[in-house]
Amino acid sequence: MKPDAAFSSAYSYSGPFQNLTLQPLPYPYEGLEPYIDTTTMKLHHDVHNKAYITNANAALAEAPQAAKSLTLLGLNHNVGTDLFGKPALNTAFQNNAGGAWNHAFFFKCMSPAGSSPSGNAPAQGGALAKAIDAAFGNFTAFKANFSEGATKRFGSGFEWLLVQPDSGNKLVTTSTPNQDNPLQQSAEVKGIPILTLDVWEHAYYLKYNATRPAYIKNWWNVVNWPYVEENYGKATQGVVPVVASS
């Protein structure tokens, strides 16, 4: 598959991906207590997320000049194309540019419990709530669908809620393994992410041990619904969330 010349009409981004740095969390390490513990957030952000950024920058240093002009988003979109030249570099960006984008987005998809004006759901009667009802029947059915996908993801990965601009802005859920995401050309199900859940063990094991379903159930208490609603509005216009600056 050849790389897209300008990402595609369904996606927007700007600015070069160079010297990516670790962005601070949008809340204190303890901000998601009691549902996600402080130690997990420190390790997740300061160790795991930082490693993906470090490795993505190392891969960028070896990449063709055409890749150096891309954003983090553009790098992800070109995973699975011929842009990177070497299969090993494609894999490096799949894992590390993917990991950098996925984690930055995941952290922004959460906020301290009780901070969303609409509570533990999107605003009743709002555009996202209506779209969820249209796609899944009701919010309860959507939560069950999303939670089931996250629970059944074999090994490590992410669960996603997507907007598909090429299908009339249809809402769908999907899961991806490892640090893959629906922005990558190699993804089986593509679309613009508006919500994600990290189900790697490092996201929950210190507090929940092997009980991933308990982690998923409690995670709903810290979903940042205003951010998800903002993402939905932009996604229907073909715009992907901006999660990190260069």
* Helix/strand/coil for 30: helix
**Cα of 87 vs its chain's centroid, Å:** 24
Burial class (CB in 10 A: 0-12, 13-18, 19+), 125: exposed
Q: How far apart are CA 192 and CA 107, in angstroms?
A: 17
Annotated binding residue at 48? no
106 contacts 99 by C-beta, under 8 angstroms: no
CA distance 20 to 240: 18
Q: How far apart are CA 112 and CA 135, in angstroms?
A: 28
Task: Report d(CA 95, CA 169) in Å as an integer.
Answer: 28
Q: How far apart are CA 169 and CA 115, in angstroms?
A: 28
Q: Please give the Cα distance from 238 to 216 (Å, whole number).
A: 29
44 is in an annotated binding site: yes
Q: Compute the radius of gyration of the chain from its Cα atoms.
A: 17
Would you state the structure tokens that stand for residue 151, as one six-digit string?
Answer: 């629970």
Q: 4 labelled as ligand-binding?
A: no
Tokens standing for residue 202: 């490092």
Structure tokens at 47: 């160790």
Which residue positions form the known binding site?
Answer: 44, 103, 198, 202
Q: Which residues are annotated as a binding site for Mn(2+)?
A: 44, 103, 198, 202
